[in-house]
Amino acid sequence: MDLNAVTPAFLDALRADLDARCFRDVTPNYLEEPRGRWQGQAGAVLAPGSVEEVSLILKAAHAARVPVVPYGGGTGLVGGQVMGQGPAPIILSLERMTKVRACYAQENVLVVEAGAILQDIHAVAAEHDRLFPMSIAAKGSARIGGCLATNAGGVNVLRYGNTRDLVLGIEAVLPDGQIWNGLSRLRKDNTGYDLKNLMIGSEGSLGVITAAALKLSPIPAGQGTAVMVVETPAAALELLSLARSHMGEAVSAFELIHRQGLDFMAEHLPDLRQPLAEVPEWSVLIDVGLARGLDPSEALETLFVEAAEAGLVSDGVIAQNEQQRHELWEMREQIPEANRLVGSISSHDISLPLSRIAEFITEGWAALTAMGDVRVNCFGHLGDGNLHFNVFPAAGKSRADYLDIRDAIKTCVHDMVARYDGSVSAEHGIGRLKVADLEKYGDPVKLALMRQIKDAFDPQGIMNPGAVLRAE
């Protein structure tokens, strides 16, 4: 599909219809992504303040065949927010669309615009004595539109589900400028194809999500957090099963942590307090939310005692107050930052059937360390099968020393994931990083249907070209 770069004449025509505040300087933050793998480009950065202005921009881009790259908080890890090749696009930033349009506390629904920052949504929900349970490490800068566009996961998927599970309706602008008013608050609406869930996870390749009706939940009356030391990932999985037999769906998060991540933090974030005096080889962070009248600390202590008797755990710490809970979670949430400071050779966001995770970790670790002098940091959301299986340089080396084997490392991991009936993208999306992986490992019928859907929504091919599907 032939596309055209942004031109001065194109922008002059838009200035006649748009508020002057829509036009932003093209600064480096719009052209970068957190891992430094790609450098983007932009013919213009436009920040509309309303769904009507988004519609005007897309209508003009559609008519002129100008590519559009939707932009949220810029925290995506697969390059979906940067377009480095092809005609210089419009970067369409949702940063001005941050309104809370309505809160229906009795219905457990919050209607927000796509530019709202995730942490701010948490604060608004809390003001109404409610919880919006999606939480990711980048919650202080990630915008909800980007979370929806990638179907983000996070630490609470075990109990509350992925982003798709937390949305009742969306408002979106299609590539030709049509506004889809789909902000339903209904829990049941069985009236045809599920367009909402098609748009969520499409990474801006089918249109621009501009607002969403989000599901809220009651704040659990009692919340508890613990770190427990396990000998192996297999023991961690047995502990998960035991925890769920004790507390059922009250287990909100179950995070696997390897000592390599803690060692990275000790090296690069020395002021961050770690919970145990001796760094364990493997540990899990467990978070629970219980109903009124139940004591989470007692429940976690009971779990620990039974698990210790079964030989599953050998040590641990149970938070006794909210400050200690915060410190335990801060430890977990700073693992990605420590990883960034070290600089990975190759990072992998994968998911696997729970029963095969322990075997995968053992085989994968052996295969990677046989390829060279590397360090592996395996951590992630064990409760829902999502691992971050990341490979780092040996001490004293940098990732630049491993450029000759970086692709081979990724291929090794992803080939194993496919063999273990897993997914090469658990929660980060496809973006531009994993387009070839989707083609290699994806079902051909699914890929053909995805291409037909893309062509139906976006026949001009202007929406985020090269993301999810190869540009044609």
Q: What confidence score (pLDDT) does residue 447 get?
A: 97
Q: What confidence score (pLDDT) does residue 123 get?
A: 97
CATH of 343-440, one of 3.20.20.370, 3.40.50.1390, 3.30.70.2740, 3.40.50.2000: 3.30.70.2740
Cα 400 to its chain centre, rounded Å, is 26
Q: Is 297 exposed, middle or buried (0-12, 13-18, 19+ CB in 10 A)?
A: middle
DSSP 100: E
- In this prediction, residues 102-111 reach a mean pLDDT of 97
Average pLDDT of the chain is 96
Residue 379, SS3?
A: strand
Reported as a pLDDT band with limits 50, 70 and 90, residue 385 is: very high
Cβ atoms of 351 and 385 within 8 Å: the answer is yes
**Domain boundary assignment for the chain:** 100-218, 222-336, 343-440
**Rounded to an integer, what distance in angstroms lies between the CA atom of residue 242 and that of residue 304?**
10
Q: What confidence score (pLDDT) does residue 36 get?
A: 83
Statement: residue 53 has pLDDT above 70: yes
User: C-alpha angle 249/252/253, rounded to 5°?
Assistant: 130
Which H/E stretch holds residue 447? helix 444-457
Rounding to the nearest 10 degrees, give the CA dihedral for residues 16, 173, 134, 140: -10
pTM for the structure as a whole: 0.94
Q: What confidence score (pLDDT) does residue 185 get?
A: 97
Phi and psi angles of residue 231, each rounded to the nearest 5 degrees, phi first: -80, -35
Cβ atoms of 92 and 40 within 8 Å: the answer is no
**CB contact set of 187 (below 8 Å; sequence gap of 6+):** 168
Reported as a pLDDT band with limits 50, 70 and 90, residue 35 is: confident
DSSP 346: B
Other CB atoms within a 10 A radius of the CB of residue 408 amount to 13
In angstroms, the Cα distances linking 21 to 13, 98, 246, 324, 327 are 15, 15, 55, 44, 41
**Rounded to an integer, what distance in angstroms lies between the CA atom of residue 336 and that of residue 264?**
10
- In this prediction, residues 129-137 reach a mean pLDDT of 95
Statement: residue 246 has pLDDT above 70: yes
CATH of 222-336, one of 3.40.50.1100, 1.10.260.40, 3.60.15.10, 3.30.70.2190: 3.30.70.2190
Q: What confidence score (pLDDT) does residue 144 get?
A: 98
Reported as a pLDDT band with limits 50, 70 and 90, residue 172 is: very high
Cβ atoms of 72 and 431 within 8 Å: the answer is no
Q: What confidence score (pLDDT) does residue 1 get?
A: 63
Domains 222-336 and 343-440 share a fold: yes
Cβ atoms of 378 and 369 within 8 Å: the answer is no
- In this prediction, residues 423-441 reach a mean pLDDT of 96
100-218, what's its fold?
3.30.465
Reported as a pLDDT band with limits 50, 70 and 90, residue 214 is: very high
Count CA atoms within 13 Å of residue 165 on its CB side: 14
Residue 150, SS3?
A: helix
Q: What confidence score (pLDDT) does residue 280 get?
A: 97
Statement: residue 21 has pLDDT above 70: yes
Q: What confidence score (pLDDT) does residue 37 get?
A: 81
- In this prediction, residues 194-218 reach a mean pLDDT of 97
In angstroms, the Cα distances linking 99 to 30, 124, 161, 210 are 22, 11, 25, 11
147: left (phi over 0), alpha (psi -120 to 50) or beta: alpha
**Rounded to an integer, what distance in angstroms lies between the CA atom of residue 318 and that of residue 136?**
22
Note the residue count of the chain.
472
Tokens of 100: 């809370």
Cβ atoms of 37 and 79 within 8 Å: the answer is yes
